[in-house]
Amino acid sequence: MNITKKIAVFAFAAFALVSCKKEEKNTTEGTVATEKTEDVAAKMETASFNIEGMTCAMGCAATIENKLGRLDGVTSAKVDFETKTATVEFDANKQSAASLTQTVEGVADGKTYKVSNMKEELKKA
């Protein structure tokens, strides 16, 4: 019985070591992608808007804030449950007011949240 346990532990350790190899990335591809993003200067904007339909800070507001924060080009997203507002800083080359609205209104069943009073402002460097 003791030998069986030792064999099982050894087999598990060997499997773990073999399956957890780091994959090398192709540096040529990474360089090309970096060059492409450096070609276009970031056009930072701030959008502020109201969100109707939120019923709680922990569920609704936090979920919307996380969804907005994960979008490509978004540098910060803040959703305030008390005032029912959101403020998002984003790269206008990657996102737009329409895509932010679509993201918020698409959370949950797509009918719960509504965006209104969208205000965009170009952020000066």
64's enclosing H/E stretch is: helix 62-69
pLDDT tens readout for residues 25-73: 444 444 444 444 444 678 999 999 999 999 999 889 999 999 999 999 9
Q: pLDDT at residue 2 above 90?
A: no
User: Torsion-angle region of residue 124: left (phi > 0), alpha (psi -120 to 50) or beta?
Assistant: beta
pLDDT tens readout for residues 77-117: 999 999 999 999 999 999 999 999 999 999 988 889 999 99
Q: Which residue has the higher pLDDT, 67 or 17?
A: 67
The model's pTM: 0.65
Q: Domains in the chain, ordered, with CATH?
A: 41-122 (3.30.70.100)
Amino acid at 69: G
Are the CB atoms for 52 and 123 separated by under 8 Å? no
What pLDDT does residue 11 have?
65
What pLDDT does residue 78 have?
97
